[in-house]
Structure 1
Amino acid sequence: MQQFLPFLLMFVVMIVFMIVPQQRKLKKEKDFQSALKIGDKVITIGGIHGKVSEVSEATLIIETMSGKLKIDRSAVSVEKSVALKAK
């Protein structure tokens, strides 16, 4: 039993420090993406800045300086959009 205790402890530490925070981050992003509404300013994962002009179940249409783009909801990142609001 004492031989397996260090391995068990390493496994528990790995779960606490790696897996749980990643799950929290994914849940936060999913909640953010589902709460997007018309008028929100966003930055896509690819770095495109725009304003949400239309919302459907799986896609968004964002208005940029060069026109309108249809993108998937998952292409909008929490970190980038929060950085935009902080400016």
Structure 2
Amino acid sequence: MRYSSQVKPISYLKAHAAEVLAQLADAREPLVITQNGEARAVLQDVASFEETQETLAMLKILALGREDIAAGKVKPVADVVARLRGKRTTGR
């Protein structure tokens, strides 16, 4: 995705806030806000932000899983299933 077409100065954001928010929701593309000619912030719609956070959470879970595998913190699936079945029958 190219962000160069979605760059606006902070003065534009101040003058057109409602329009910018509507455009963010419709286009679902982030907007780079500049201040004194430098990129200072990125705005995005809430739905896109939530999707990004969910994706990051999933990637973190995968990374933690890989670390556990590398550290040998694993058990055979048959042992786990047997343990779960044992809990289920004793818990009734």
TM-score of the alignment, normalized to the shorter chain, above 0.5: no
Which protein is richer in helix relative to its size? 2
Structure of higher RCO (CA pairs closer than 8 Å, 6+ residues apart): 1
Higher strand residue share: 1
Q: Which has the larger radius of gyration?
A: 2
Question: Scaled by the length of structure 1, what TM-score is found?
Answer: 0.40
TM-score where L is the length of structure 2: 0.38
